């Protein structure tokens, strides 16, 4: 049986003004935004008015993107478009957990506020760097990382595209080593070495919070960044905390979802980064982006008419 999956965007997709038209046109999206505003006053301003520089600060990015992502999913739900399973890239795993029922909305948002803050503080305490590596195999990237003391493969985005993270002091030498090996490495505009051991302290602090948070069995499966398999309420606290210091296995996640019957992916939230990756991982899959209210309407119409690629 054909299945539909929602995939929730990660950090880096944010932009000024995101979610405003959803707020103005969807009562479900508006409810998500007002919930977040009641917990962290100023969140609405961050989404609608903050400039690129302010939004790029991790402790601001994560709450704002959570709202954008979950508001999009709620607006789709309101329009009658629902999914059979979900996954979220890095930060996107948290609003996905709220949508799937693994966490309550309020608990999920309160957690993402702490997640953004702790990762921001970890990056200030132990500055790091990240780079996207292209044109060489994932195995070659792993081999090159092993030549350096503190450079790690962290995001397995798709075949031939791996993000690495680690020491800022070693990153330039690593980038040169990639070029010498026939690949290309692009340094990313981030301040921290996310999903690497540099985030160990943040992960430990977040585990303490998640162990005190109520988890429920998800209503629909949510695939873990860490294992690429569905989460349950027992494993989720540990896996979601460890996620911030561990690789995101996105390619394997998408392959597993396809193996489990997913034929259509809808990217919810800011940007189209995940859609671009899925095109490379599963070119046979149908793809949609839900970012603006007009997207919600278009997808809803297509699904009501069963006029979608599956």
Active site residues: 90, 195
SS3 267: strand
Backbone CA torsion sign across 130, 136, 139, 142: negative
Q: Please state whether beta strands 286-290 and 262-268 pair in parallel, antiparallel, or not at all (unpaired).
A: parallel
Structure-block tokens of residue 136: 């060489």
What are the angstrom distances between the C-alpha of 138 and each of 31, 49, 154, 249, 273?
42, 39, 11, 12, 19
Helix (H) or strand (E) holding 164: strand 161-167
Question: How far is the C-alpha of 104 from the C-alpha of 91, rounded, in Å?
Answer: 16
Question: How far is the C-alpha of 157 from the C-alpha of 136, rounded, in Å?
Answer: 13
Q: Which residues contact 169 (CB under 8 A, 6 or more apart)?
A: none
If you count them, how many residues does the chain have?
310
Q: What is the DSSP letter of 248?
A: B
Q: Please state whether beta strands 151-158 and 161-167 pair in parallel, antiparallel, or not at all (unpaired).
A: antiparallel
């Amino acid at each position: 049986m054909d299945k539909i999956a929602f995939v929730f965007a990660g950090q880096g997709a944010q932009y000024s003004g995101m979610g405003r038209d959803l707020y103005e046109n969807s009562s479900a999206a508006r409810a998500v935004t007002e919930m977040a505003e009641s917990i962290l006053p100023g969140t609405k301003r961050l989404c609608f008015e903050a400039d690129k520089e302010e939004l790029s600060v991790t402790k601001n990015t994560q709450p704002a993107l959570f709202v954008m992502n979950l508001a999009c999913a709620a607006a789709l739900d309101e329009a009658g478009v629902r999914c059979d399973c979900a996954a979220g890239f890095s930060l996107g795993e948290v609003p996905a957990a709220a949508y799937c029922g693994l966490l309550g909305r309020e608990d999920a948002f309160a957690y993402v506020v702490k997640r953004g803050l702790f990762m921001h503080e970890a990056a200030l305490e132990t500055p790091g760097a990240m780079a996207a590596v292209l044109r060489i195999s994932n195995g070659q990237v792993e081999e090159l990382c092993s030549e350096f003391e503190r450079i790690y493969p962290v995001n397995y985005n798709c075949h031939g595209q791996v993000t690495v993270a680690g020491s800022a002091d070693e990153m330039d030498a690593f980038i040169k080593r990639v070029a010498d090996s026939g690949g290309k490495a692009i340094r990313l505009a981030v301040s921290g070495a996310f999903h690497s051991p540099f985030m160990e302290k943040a992960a430990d602090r977040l585990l303490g919070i998640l162990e005190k948070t109520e988890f429920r069995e998800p209503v629909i499966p949510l695939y873990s960044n860490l294992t690429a398999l569905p989460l349950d309420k027992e494993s989720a606290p540990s896996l979601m905390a460890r996620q911030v210091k561990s690789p995101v296995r996105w390619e394997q996640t998408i392959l597993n979802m396809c193996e489990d019957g997913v034929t259509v992916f809808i990217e919810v939230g800011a940007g189209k980064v995940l859609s671009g990756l899925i095109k490379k991982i599963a070119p046979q899959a149908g793809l949609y982006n839900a970012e603006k209210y007009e997207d919600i309407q278009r997808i809803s119409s297509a699904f009501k008419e069963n006029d979608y690629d599956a």
